């Protein structure tokens, strides 16, 4: 596995270091995280779809964000869990590696585009409340979501294509628990400096392209909130934006470390830690972030629990 492998048809995922007992403990922890992520985000999607009080652009975007969180963790975690149960390194075919990397990057790009759109939505809600329903109408929201999904999937086609056009002759062992692009580039015997620079520019475009409207929106939002005379009004406005802002800080913070660096092949030691943040921890936390600080979502959950109890009693 460590000899030259110029025509790679499969890769070996190195996975997590440590003993078999540690792997079993990690399996239990990540499996719990995965189940909670699936249940939490699915609950959000369901209540957004069925509860009339949540039929607004803010929760429409939240439902799509929850769907993206389910996708991004499902793309990575089942393969990772299977690797934790297997002795030694995990084998993954070339085609499976291509699909996993493409879906991971495409869903992530879509999520950042949607986070930028949610920031603008919050700006309109706080700074132009009287025109909110006119600006953020159903057609506008559907268009924004459609563009986010299409952009995310189209934008990453070239990036994945050029990655797998390289010749892998150094090794076919990927030092991560999934097909990490940085580690794949490291295995290539081609000169990847130009490719890495283009990928760096693409990452900058995606992250800062959605971060700039987010920063501008929150600058205006904070300025407007501070002008509200009553403390209860300021607290209510801050509470509306707090969940999204927390999600932005976690999401952008981890991805800035992972992708926005000119040398994509460096920092293998912490790449897998940041990858865990993106694919496991963030999707796990988001349902709690968006429910614990949102009164309408909590009320919708309480109503749903009451209805379920009534159905069981009948």
Nearest of 147, 84, 83 to residue 120 by alpha carbon: 147
| Position 203 in a domain | yes
Residue range of the domain that includes 35: 10-313
- Is residue 141 helix, strand or coil? helix
- Is residue 13 helix, strand or coil? strand
| Position 117 in a domain | yes
Q: What pLDDT does 223 receive?
A: 87
CB 73 within 8 A of CB 107: no
**pLDDT tens sequence across 132-149:** 888 999 999 999 999 999
Q: What is the pLDDT along the chain (314 residues), one digit of tens a residue?
A: 444 444 567 888 888 887 888 889 999 999 999 999 999 999 889 888 888 778 888 889 989 999 999 999 999 999 999 988 887 788 889 899 999 999 999 999 999 999 999 889 988 988 888 888 889 999 999 999 999 999 999 999 999 999 888 888 777 888 888 998 888 888 888 888 888 888 888 888 988 888 899 889 888 888 888 887 777 766 766 766 777 777 777 777 666 665 555 555 455 555 677 788 888 888 888 888 877 666 677 777 777 777 777 766 76
Q: What is the CATH classification number for the domain harbouring 111?
A: 1.20.1070.10
| Position 237 in a domain | yes
Q: What pLDDT does 1 receive?
A: 43
Q: What pLDDT does 299 receive?
A: 75
| Position 99 in a domain | yes
| Position 5 in a domain | no
Q: What pLDDT does 306 receive?
A: 75
| Position 3 in a domain | no
State the pTM of this model.
0.86
Helical spans, DSSP H, in 86-156: 94-127, 132-135, 138-155
Q: What pLDDT does 31 receive?
A: 95
Mark 196-217 as b/e (b = at least 16 C-beta within 10 Å): beebbebbeebbbebbebbeeb
| Position 4 in a domain | no
Q: What pLDDT does 56 receive?
A: 85
Q: What pLDDT does 96 receive?
A: 92
Long-range contacts of 9-12 (CB under 8 A, 24+ apart): 9/93, 9/94, 10/91, 10/92, 10/93, 10/94, 10/172, 11/91, 11/92, 11/94, 11/97, 11/172, 11/173, 11/174, 11/179, 11/184, 12/89, 12/90, 12/91, 12/92, 12/172, 12/173, 12/174
Residue 168 DSSP symbol: B
| Position 218 in a domain | yes
Domain count, the chain: 1
């Amino acid at each position: 596995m460590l000899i030259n492998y110029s025509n790679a048809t499969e890769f070996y995922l190195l996975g997590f270091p440590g003993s078999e007992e540690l792997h079993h403990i990690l399996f239990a922890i990540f499996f719990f995280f995965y189940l909670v992520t699936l249940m939490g985000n699915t609950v959000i999607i369901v209540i957004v779809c069925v509860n009339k009080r949540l039929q607004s652009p803010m929760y429409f975007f939240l439902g799509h964000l929850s769907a993206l969180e389910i996708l991004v963790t499902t793309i990575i975690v089942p393969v990772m869990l299977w690797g934790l149960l297997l002795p030694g390194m995990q084998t993954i075919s070339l085609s499976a590696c291509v699909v996993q990397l493409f879906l991971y990057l495409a869903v992530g790009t879509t999520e950042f585009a949607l986070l930028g759109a949610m920031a603008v939505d919050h700006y309109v809600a706080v700074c132009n409340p009287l025109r909110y329903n006119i600006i953020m109408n159903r057609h506008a929201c559907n268009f924004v979501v459609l563009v986010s999904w299409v952009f995310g999937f189209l934008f990453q086609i070239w990036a994945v294509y050029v990655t797998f056009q390289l010749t892998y002759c150094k090794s076919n062992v990927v030092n991560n628990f999934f097909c990490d692009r940085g580690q794949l580039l490291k295995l290539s015997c081609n000169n990847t400096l130009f490719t890495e620079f283009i990928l760096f520019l693409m990452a900058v475009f995606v992250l800062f392209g959605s971060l700039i409207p987010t920063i501008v929106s929150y600058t205006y939002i904070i300025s407007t909130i501070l002008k509200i005379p009553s403390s209860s009004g300021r607290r209510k406005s801050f509470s509306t934006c707090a969940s999204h802002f927390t999600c932005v800080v976690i999401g952008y913070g981890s991805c800035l470390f992972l992708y926005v660096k000119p040398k994509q092949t460096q920092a293998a030691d912490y790449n897998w830690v940041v990858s865990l943040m993106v694919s496991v921890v963030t999707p796990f936390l988001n349902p709690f972030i968006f429910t614990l600080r949102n009164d309408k979502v909590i009320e919708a959950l309480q109503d749903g629990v009451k209805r379920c109890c009534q159905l069981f009693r009948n």
